[in-house]
Amino acid sequence: MEPPRSLPAPLDGVRLRDAIDLMAWPCFALTKGPRHVPIIHEHRGDFMRVSSLPGARGLATIWDADILTWAVSQLAEARDRRLHVSPALLTSGFQVLRFLGRGTGRSQYALLTAALERLAGTHVETSIGAALSAPARFHWIERWEHGNAGLIIVVPDWLLATVTERRRVLRVPPAYLRLTGAIERWLWRLLCRHAHGISTSWKIPLATLHARSGSLARATDFVVELRKIARRNVLPGYTLSIVWRDGEECLHAVRSAESFHSAAAVPGDRPAFYPQNRGVRL
């Protein structure tokens, strides 16, 4: 693969950001073991279908998604600086790992390679951001390779358009990357996406969260994990507790004032969570 003449990455002083649609939808496996069962989710007339290609290592995981976070951050920064933006990003494994706060030992490079393989081996079909006539079809990473110039990562046009044309991105605190649990990461992303620009407190039924996650875990096991997360209170920018509302066990999430004012709201976007005095139906 020959690299394009102009590549936006890597840039210095890049703020951590992610695409809203990757936060709002169940896009990634929530297990470190291989998952080959597709993720299929429909909501308000849109859909997301994520599957692994034959012979692939399984679906891309929530930890693999950090590479897309790196790519979104680079693309958004290039857009803000009015630089040429290309779906092909030229970098090095060292730069990606350092940006994501990971080590740079041999094992980390092996994990990075495995993550790139899973992202390239995951097929996505979605109506989100697609033309009315047909859904968008792509891989989380269309192509990648280690070349003489460095590590080349080609993101799908869908993701490029999400960042540069639709401008659907939010800031992410570095503390997010230090979350180790899959459900912790997924829950933080969901809260962050739906919370920006409106209220600071919500009550969400635990059963609703399980249905929205795309997880293959039993509902009872998933709920147990949510209770543990609420007790530990480890999600940056949020205080969590378990409450009961109208006979349903709910997660009560309260957003800190600092977190509320630091997130970059997207004009015209309609959040799907509602203020504290209403129940949440995702």
49-76 pLDDT, tens digit per residue, is: 999 999 888 999 999 999 999 999 999 9
In the predicted structure, residue 267 carries a pLDDT above the cut 50: no
Tell me whether residue 3 is in a domain: no
d(CA 141, CA 124): 10
Environment class of 234 (CB within 10 Å of its CB; exposed 0-12, middle 13-18, buried 19+):
middle
Segments forming the whole domain that contains residue 239:
179-262
Task: With a cut of 60, say whether residue 1 has pLDDT above it.
Answer: no
Q: Examine the pLDDT at 183 and tell me if it is beyond 80.
A: yes
Residue 152 shares a structural domain with residue 225: no
Q: Is 207 exposed, middle or buried (0-12, 13-18, 19+ CB in 10 A)?
A: middle
The DSSP bridge partners found for residue 44 are none
Three-point CA angle 252, 257, 258, nearest 5°: 120
Same domain, 64 and 133: yes
**Tokens 């066990």 found at:** 249
pLDDT tens digits for range 115-165: 999 999 999 999 998 877 789 999 999 999 988 888 999 999 999 999 998
Same domain, 164 and 202: no
Phi–psi pair at 191, nearest 5 degrees: -60, -45
Q: What is the pTM of this model?
A: 0.88
Buried b (16+ CB within 10 A) or exposed e, 118-139: bbbbbbbbbbbbeeeeebbebb
Same domain, 40 and 144: yes
Claim to verify: residue 119 and residue 233 sit in the same structural domain: no
Q: Confirm whether 6 is domain-assigned.
A: no
Does position 260 have pLDDT exceeding 50, yes or no? no
Same domain? 124 vs 47: yes
Q: Please state, in angstroms and as integers, the Cα–Cα distance from residue 4 to each residue in 89, 92, 143, 146, 222, following that order.
A: 9, 16, 13, 15, 45
pLDDT of residue 186: 97
Pick from 134, 150, 171: which residue ends a domain? Answer: 171
Tell me, yes or no, whether 279 lies in a domain.
no
